Amino acid sequence: MNMRVLLIDDHTLFRSGLETLLERHNIEVVAATGDGREGMHLALEINPDIVLLDMRMPDMNGLEVLRALRSAGMKIPIVMLTTSNEERDLVECLRNGAQGYLLKDMEPDELVNALRDIQAGRTVVAPELAGVLARVVQGESIEADRQETPFSELTPRELEILCLLAEGQSNKVIARNLGISDGTVKLHVKAVLRKLNVHSRVEAAVMAVEKNLCQKEA
């Protein structure tokens, strides 16, 4: 399926690199700009399949561009591509009609797959932010009726790693924080998934958030 993307990002180097990357995956970048206001006019003029929008920009930031385009009646998917993994930014963007919230440190293939999913009508949030999203969706308190849970099988270290996953940390960051190797983190994550009987770290993180396992001490 052919895809026409408008890219709005104020970092010239990132913009040109991303343009090359997308073109390599047969995704056409119909226009690219570093100016939010110009990007907004281009979006209305060109009507691309997807607008890929940076969050932090001078003059008119990504959220303002998103709001303006939705107010103007633009229905196409608008996807935030950002370095911000803050809960507030994610919530604001989704509330204002973003159909994707992706992080700039994603693997190139993950980014391309996410764009294809978004083009097919799905809303995609970076996997690292699944825990944040679950908190938002579930609200503040979750009832936990069952006393026996699969979590009781986890070792203290596995539980610690699960909570870091729920905070959206990558294996690399977890390894650095705990002073262990990436490989060790991977083994722990595998064990967690097996014990919780889930297939992905995202599901595990959502379970942890749902059961309120990772409450920080006041």
Can you give the C-alpha Rg of the chain in angstroms? 19
* Listed residues 93, 109, 125: the one ending a domain: 125
Give the CA dihedral 208, 212, 214, 215, nearest 10 degrees: 170
The answer, as to whether pTM is greater than 0.85, is no
N-terminal to C-terminal alpha carbon distance within the chain = 51
| Interhelix angle 87-95/130-138, nearest 10 degrees | 60
* Listed residues 125, 152, 182: the one ending a domain: 125
Say whether both 213 and 135 belong to one domain. Answer: yes
Say whether both 133 and 217 belong to one domain. Answer: yes
Please classify residue 118 by burial: count the beta carbons closer than 10 Å to its beta carbon, then call 0-12 exposed, 13-18 middle and 19+ buried. buried
80 lies in which domain range?
3-125
* Listed residues 125, 141, 169: the one ending a domain: 125
- From first to last of its 218 residues, the chain has per-residue pLDDT tens of 589 999 999 999 999 999 999 999 999 999 999 999 999 999 999 999 999 999 988 888 999 999 999 999 999 999 999 988 888 888 889 889 999 999 988 888 899 999 999 999 998 998 878 777 766 666 543 333 334 567 778 888 888 899 998 888 899 999 998 989 888 999 999 999 988 888 888 888 888 887 777 765 43
The CATH number linked to 157 is 3.40.50.2300
Say whether both 146 and 47 belong to one domain. Answer: no
Say whether both 58 and 140 belong to one domain. Answer: no
Say whether both 155 and 181 belong to one domain. Answer: yes
| 114 neighbors 106 (Cβ within 8 angstroms) | yes
Say whether both 116 and 133 belong to one domain. Answer: no
Say whether both 132 and 121 belong to one domain. Answer: no
Say whether both 121 and 22 belong to one domain. Answer: yes
Say whether both 91 and 73 belong to one domain. Answer: yes
Say whether both 190 and 140 belong to one domain. Answer: yes
Q: Residue 173 corresponds to which amino acid?
A: V
Q: How many domains does the chain have?
A: 2
Say whether both 76 and 161 belong to one domain. Answer: no
Please classify residue 57 by burial: count the beta carbons closer than 10 Å to its beta carbon, then call 0-12 exposed, 13-18 middle and 19+ buried. buried
Say whether both 115 and 133 belong to one domain. Answer: no
